[in-house]
Amino acid sequence: MANLKEVRTRISSVKSTRQITSAMKMVSAAKLRRAQDKIVKLRPYAGKLHELLVGISASIGEDGIRSSYAVDREPEKVLLIVVTSNRGLCGAFNSNVIKETARVISDNYSEQYREGRLWLMTVGKKGFDYFRKRNYQLFGDYSRLFDDLTFDSASEIAQKLMDIFLEAQFDRIDIIFNQFRNAAAQDLKHRRFLPVEKQEPEENGNDNFDYIFEPSRNEILLELIPKSLKVQFYSALLDSYVAEHGARMTAMHMATDNATEMINTLTLDYNKARQAAITSQILEVVSGAEALKG
């Protein structure tokens, strides 16, 4: 009977766990729906703004046009923006970003890292805890940004990044994050944030960007580049935020299914053990009765 009690305890424990994972799945699903609406509405605007920026920046350097945000210096000092989540239980969401960050450092900025000229700016507690324990140089921690993610709060950080780039504190600023594809999948992204990349000419030599500028192209650049950078930064953070809830919803869905399967297995084991115990008791009664007859 002790075995039966142990199995009953395990069944009760797994049922409690299933209730928790099921509740977390529903909470993440609700947050995902709200956040997904934002990123779906933002992407067309961000994409078109980026297209305009790339088109105009293709002529940077021509006709005396210059932009301080497009100055491509030798990457002596590098800043990597690493976007993770504040909480776990979301599968490989955070570990994928951390692994990609390690790969980027190894492949692209190994010299800067060895010489102490590479810094990390973490957005998300998981990334901050991981890299702090391993003694990486941290430029700042913005984990609380996800508590109330808005365009204004993201714009403040983007403006700070633009200012430190103009002051030549860093020559290259990249961002690593998870881009939302759907509730079950995310795309790992590594993008340059600053300096603004110029559009490379196509192989056939044709330029797809044909604009009439009013006011002047330089004035548009001065206005468009900072706005586009702020939108791109906010879009990356929002993508990561939505992808986090999608990853957590999927992870909790799988955990709930696994808990259900485990309960079924334990229930079957319990019934078998209970049947064996009853059979054993019946045999003992029958044996006792036969002994009394003898």
Q: What percent of the chain stands above pLDDT 90?
A: 54
Tell me the pLDDT tens digit for each residue of 245-270.
999 999 999 999 999 999 999 999 88
pLDDT over 60 at 1, yes or no: no
Query: Global pTM?
Result: 0.83
Q: What is the mean pLDDT of residues 46-55?
A: 75
Contact (Cβ atoms closer than 8 angstroms) between residue 187 and residue 247: no
Whole-number Å distance between alpha carbons of 219 and 56: 11
Report the pLDDT value the prediction gives residue 224, as an integer from 0 to 100: 81
pLDDT reported for residue 198: 66
pLDDT band, residue 210 (cuts 50/70/90): low
Inter-CA distances, 146 with 11, 32, 67, 279, Å? 37, 14, 31, 59
* Rounded CA separation 5/89 (Å): 30
Least confident of 91-100, 110-119, 207-216: 207-216
pLDDT at residue 278, as a whole number? 85
Checking if the pLDDT of 211 tops 70, the result is no
| Runs of H (alpha helix) within 121-216 | 125-133, 151-166
Average pLDDT, the chain: 86
Number of neighbouring beta carbons within 10 Å of residue 231: 21
The pLDDT tens digits for 169-188 are 999 999 999 999 888 889 99
The CA–CA distances, whole Å, from 76 to 39, 112, 228, 229, 246 equal: 34, 7, 25, 22, 37
Domains and CATH numbers, the chain: 2-21+255-288 (1.10.287.80), 30-251 (3.40.1380.10)
CA distance 89 to 82: 19
Lowest mean pLDDT among 71-80, 171-180, 278-287: 278-287
Query: Any idea which residue has 């001065």 for tokens?
Result: 222
For residue 63, the model assigns a pLDDT of 52
Calculate mean pLDDT across residues 226-251: 92
